[in-house]
Amino acid sequence: MSTEPTRADARDNRARILEVAEEVFGKGGSAASTEEVARLAGVGIATVFRHFPTKRALVEAVLVKHFDRLCRRARSLVESSDPGRAFFDFFGHLVGDAAGKLAIIEAFTDAGGDADGKAAQGPRDLRAAVGVLLRRAQEAGAVRADVRLDEVYALLVGISRAGAHLHLSEPVRTRALRIIFDGLACGAGESPTRSSSI
- List, for residues 3-12, the tens digit of each pLDDT value: 554 578 888 9
- List, for residues 159-171, the tens digit of each pLDDT value: 999 988 888 888 9
CATH topology of domain 8-184: Tetracycline Repressor; domain 2 (1.10.357)
pTM: 0.85
Domains of the chain by residue range: 8-184
- List, for residues 103-123, the tens digit of each pLDDT value: 999 999 999 887 677 788 999
Contact predicate 137/86, CB 8 Å:
yes
Provide the mean pLDDT of the chain.
Answer: 89
